[in-house]
Structure 1
C-alpha cells in the first residue's frame, strides 16, 4: 500500500470533537485498505484502559485502536495525566505511574525536551509498523503561554511532518473568532503545516454555511475541507469527562432505573455504556440523595481519589441512601474504588491519595482495603464463582482488598472481588458490565426472566462504520488524501 504522511487533528479548544473525528478517520483508512494506528502524545483523563502488556493509556486511544482493527499499545499514548484534584495529577509515563505533580511543576519543572524525546520514541515505534499514523492534539493549539512547553500539538505536527487539520466546534458559538484567532496566532512555520479546517457539530441545513466557509477561507487562507453535522445517534465510546454533563438525568418511568453515584473523582464512566444501550433501562448519574433514592439498582463506580470521595458520601447524605437501599434488600454493586468503599475500612499508610490516612467504609461488605504505591494494570478473563457468567474486562487500581468469598475467578486462577449475594457484590474488574451474561444476572434481580439483546461489540463496530460514513459524506476526502502524499 502507498506510504502516506501522517494526519493530525488539532483543535481551537477542548471538547471540539477531535477524538471522535480521529476515530472516524482511523476507520476510514482501515476501510480503504491501509493499516492505520492512533497516536496522542499527552492526554489528560480519568478514563483509562489497560493494554495487553499491563500498561495504562487513555481510553480514547484504546477506542481509536479498535476502530483501526488493532490492539492498543502504550506507545499510542505515552503520557497520561490523571487528575487527583484541581491542581495535581498522577503522571503516567509509558503506561506506568511516575508520581504526582502539580500543573505548575509539570509544565515548569520537568525536562520538556526529554519528555518530547520519549513521545517521539513511541511515535517512531508505531510509524515503523503502521500507515498512516492518525494523530490527535490536545486542547487549543494557540495557548501562546504554553508554546515553549508544547509536546503534544504543533511541535508534534512539525516533527512528524503531518498534514494538520484544525477542528472547530460551531455548536459552542464564536466559530469565526476561534478559527481566525487560532490560525493567525500561529507562527508562520506552524501555519504552513495547517492544511485545512473542519467545522464540527453543525446543526440544521449545512448548505446555509456556504457563505461562512468562503469567509473563513478568505480570513485564514486555509480551505474549509468539511462541515460535519451534529449527531447523537452514533454510538462511540467517549473518554472526556465533559460527556458526563450530558449523561446527568433522573428517574424515569422505565422498567429499571440504575443510579450511578456521581463521585467528584469518578473514573472510567465507560463501564456503564452497555447498560445505557438496553431497552427499558434508564441509567443516570447523580449526587443528589433525593434522586438516588429512586433507583432500583445503585452502582458505586471507580474513583481516582477513593478516600476523598468516600468522605463526601457521608457529608452530602448519599451514604445514608446507599445503606438504606442495601438494608431494604435492593441491589448495590461496586467497581474498583466503589468496591473499596463498600468494605469495612480503607487505609492509606503511605499517603498514596493524599492526607487522609484512614476512613471507615460503608460496611456493606466484610472486607478491608490497604492502599499502596504502584498499580495493578491488566486485562482479565473471568467467570463468576457460581459459573453463571463469563466475560472479559481489565483492572487498573492501587491497593489490595483481602476477600475470602470472591465474586469472580480469573483465568489465571486468582479470585476477584467479594460476593455477598446476588444483590450485593464488589469487583475490581472494569468493563464487567460490557458482558451480556453479567448484565442479565444483574437486571434479573429486579425483573426475573429479563434478557438483554445488545451485542456490545457489534454496536461498537456499527458505530465506527456509521461515523466513517458521515465523515466521508461531509469531508473532502480527495483533498485529505492529496495533503497526505509524500
Structure 2
C-alpha cells in the first residue's frame, strides 16, 4: 500500500457496549501505521474512569491514549474532546477539551439544549485531526440503536455521517443473541445511516469459525451487508481495556506461589490501568477484591484511585475492607495508595466545595500523617521523577483535584521540575499521586524486593509495542483487509 493513496475515515460502532470497539480501533491504528499511513484515533465522547494526561497537560480517555500509542503518535485532546467521568450513579464530571467544566446529572447533560454547540466542538476537533492525519480511525460509543438518545447523538452515526466514514458494525458473539442484535441494530437505522455501514465484524468467537459459515451467510442476508471477518476470542494478546467491565474477568482471589497483590475494588475505581504492568510481571499475582479474607492473603495491598474518594472511603469502612487494610498494616504487609488511595491512607479528606460528593468531609484510615482538601482546579500533568534514593529516571502522570499536605514532610518522589510528591512512611508503606508509577521497573523491583529474589527488567514499552503488532497480525489474518481498504478508497 503506497502512502500517496488517500483514505477516507473509518469508524467502528457497536451493537452494545464492551463488544471490543476500542481494541479493534487500536489494532487498525497499528495496521495503518505499518502500511505507511499517518493514522490518528478519534472518539467524540467517552465515558470512562480511565483517563490519561496528554503531553501538554490536559486529560483524555485512556483508550484514546492507547490508540494513539498504537498509531505511533502523541495523544491530544482532539482525539477525545468530551470525556465523562462518573462521580455517582447519576452524575459525572464533564471534561471538555481536556479540562473539567463541572459536574452534571445525566438528565442535565443529555438535554437537547446546547447539544448542537457541543457537536460543533467535537466536529471542530475532528477537522483539526483530519488536517494532520490520515486516515482518522473513529470509535463509537455503546449501541448505535438507542432510539431515545439518537436525537442527542454526538458520538455514533451522526459523527459517522459528519466524517463521511466507512463504518463497520462490531458485535460480541460470546454474549449470545448475535443474530437478533445485528438484525435489530440494522433494522433501527435510518436509510442514510444504513448506507454508511459497509460491513460487520463478529468479535470474540471461540472455536473454529469455519463452523459458523452458515450463520455468516444468514447474517449477510438479514442485514444486507457483508460480514468482513470473524475475530477469535483471545487472551494471549495484552491490550489495555477501556471499560471497568473487564475487571470482572480478572482474578479476584489470591493464587499460587507468586507475590500476591490485592487491589481494592472500589465502587468508583479509576485508572485501573495503573496495574497493567504488574499484571504482566511473572513474579506477581494481581487480583481485585473487597473480600476481607482475600485481602488478608495478600503480601501487598494497593488502594487505587477513585473518582469519589470520600464515598469510597466510607464504603470500605462499612464493608470490612478498611479493617482488613489496617490489619495488613499491623502485620507488616506492604500498603500503598495511588491518587485517591493515597488520600484514603491519610488522616482526613475534605471536600468543602462539593467537587466529588455531597458529603463534605470524612476521616481517612490514618496510616499516613497527611490531610487532603479537594479543590476545583485539576492537576493534569505528565512528569518525570526520581523514586526515593534510586537514580533511575521514572515516568508517570498526575490527574487529581486534591491537595495533600503534612507537617512531617517525607517525600516519596522527587520531580524534575523541583516539586515533590507523595509520602514515604517506610519501605512497606507509601502513597503517591503519580499514576503509572508501577510501569517503572525500578519501582516494581523495589515493591517486590521483600518478597522475591527474582528481578525483572521487562521493557514495558517494548512489550506493549509487540502486543500492538500481534493484534494487527490477528486482524489481518481474520478480516478481509482488501475489501476494507476498497471501502476507504472509494
Q: TM-score, normalised by structure 2?
A: 0.98
> Structure 1 residues 61-70 or 359-368, which shifts more?
359-368
In the alignment, the residues of structure 2 paired with residue 87 and residue 409 of structure 1 have an alpha-carbon distance, to the nearest angstrom, of 38
Q: 2:366 aligns with which of 351, 363, 366?
A: 363
Alignment partner, residue 377 of structure 1: 380
Alignment partner, residue 288 of structure 2: 285
Q: 1:309 aligns with which of 309, 312, 317?
A: 312
The gaps in structure 2 that reach 5 residues or longer are none
Alignment partner, residue 190 of structure 1: 193
1:115-145 CA distances to partner (integer Å, 9 max, x unpaired)?
0000000000000000000000000001111
> The residue matched to 1:108 in structure 2 has which SS?
coil
Map 1:116-195; keep pairs closer than 5 Å. 116-195=119-198
Shift, 1:164, TM fit: 0.4
Residues 343 and 366 of structure 1 are in contact (CA less than 8 Å); yes or no, is this contact kept in structure 2?
yes
Alignment partner, residue 416 of structure 1: 421
1:83-140 CA distances to partner (integer Å, 9 max, x unpaired)?
1111111111111111111111111154111000000000000000000000000000
Residues 109 and 369 of structure 1: CA distance in aligned 2, closer, same or farther (over 3 Å):
farther
Q: 2:216 aligns with which of 213, 216, 227?
A: 213
> The residue matched to 1:284 in structure 2 has which SS?
strand
Q: 1:328 aligns with which of 331, 337, 350?
A: 331
In the alignment, the residues of structure 1 paired with residue 402 and residue 232 of structure 2 have an alpha-carbon distance, to the nearest angstrom, of 45
CA RMSD of aligned residues (A): 1.0
In the alignment, the residues of structure 2 paired with residue 109 and residue 157 of structure 1 have an alpha-carbon distance, to the nearest angstrom, of 20
Structure 1 residue 83 and structure 2 residue 86: aligned? yes
In the alignment, the residues of structure 2 paired with residue 240 and residue 254 of structure 1 have an alpha-carbon distance, to the nearest angstrom, of 29
Map 1:465-484; keep pairs closer than 5 Å. 465-484=469-488
> The residue matched to 2:472 in structure 1 has which SS?
helix
Q: 1:433 aligns with which of 430, 438, 445?
A: 438
Shift, 1:2, TM fit: 1.7
Residues 235 and 459 of structure 1 are in contact (CA less than 8 Å); yes or no, is this contact kept in structure 2?
no
In the alignment, the residues of structure 1 paired with residue 256 and residue 479 of structure 2 have an alpha-carbon distance, to the nearest angstrom, of 41
> The residue matched to 2:195 in structure 1 has which SS?
helix
In the alignment, the residues of structure 2 paired with residue 358 and residue 393 of structure 1 have an alpha-carbon distance, to the nearest angstrom, of 29
> The residue matched to 1:204 in structure 2 has which SS?
coil
Residues 390 and 442 of structure 2 are in contact (CA less than 8 Å); yes or no, is this contact kept in structure 1?
no
> The residue matched to 2:489 in structure 1 has which SS?
coil
Residues 390 and 438 of structure 1 are in contact (CA less than 8 Å); yes or no, is this contact kept in structure 2?
no
Structure 1 residue 450 and structure 2 residue 454: aligned? yes
Q: 1:95 aligns with which of 93, 98, 101?
A: 98
Residues 43 and 139 of structure 2 are in contact (CA less than 8 Å); yes or no, is this contact kept in structure 1?
yes
In the alignment, the residues of structure 1 paired with residue 276 and residue 337 of structure 2 have an alpha-carbon distance, to the nearest angstrom, of 16
Alignment partner, residue 485 of structure 1: 489
> The residue matched to 1:217 in structure 2 has which SS?
helix
Residues 112 and 152 of structure 2 are in contact (CA less than 8 Å); yes or no, is this contact kept in structure 1?
no
Shift, 1:388, TM fit: 5.0
Residues 90 and 99 of structure 1 are in contact (CA less than 8 Å); yes or no, is this contact kept in structure 2?
yes
In the alignment, the residues of structure 1 paired with residue 78 and residue 417 of structure 2 have an alpha-carbon distance, to the nearest angstrom, of 26
Structure 1 residue 46 and structure 2 residue 49: aligned? yes
> The residue matched to 1:209 in structure 2 has which SS?
helix
In the alignment, the residues of structure 2 paired with residue 335 and residue 213 of structure 1 have an alpha-carbon distance, to the nearest angstrom, of 47
Shift, 1:402, TM fit: 1.5
Alignment partner, residue 246 of structure 1: 249
In the alignment, the residues of structure 1 paired with residue 32 and residue 168 of structure 2 have an alpha-carbon distance, to the nearest angstrom, of 16
> The residue matched to 2:249 in structure 1 has which SS?
helix
In the alignment, the residues of structure 1 paired with residue 233 and residue 11 of structure 2 have an alpha-carbon distance, to the nearest angstrom, of 21
In the alignment, the residues of structure 2 paired with residue 405 and residue 329 of structure 1 have an alpha-carbon distance, to the nearest angstrom, of 20
In the alignment, the residues of structure 1 paired with residue 360 and residue 143 of structure 2 have an alpha-carbon distance, to the nearest angstrom, of 38
Residues 6 and 162 of structure 1 are in contact (CA less than 8 Å); yes or no, is this contact kept in structure 2?
yes
Structure 1 residue 464 and structure 2 residue 468: aligned? yes
1:196-215 CA distances to partner (integer Å, 9 max, x unpaired)?
11111111111011111111
> Structure 1 residues 102-111 or 127-136, which shifts more?
102-111
Aligned length: 485
1:186-230 CA distances to partner (integer Å, 9 max, x unpaired)?
000000011111111111111011111111111111011111111
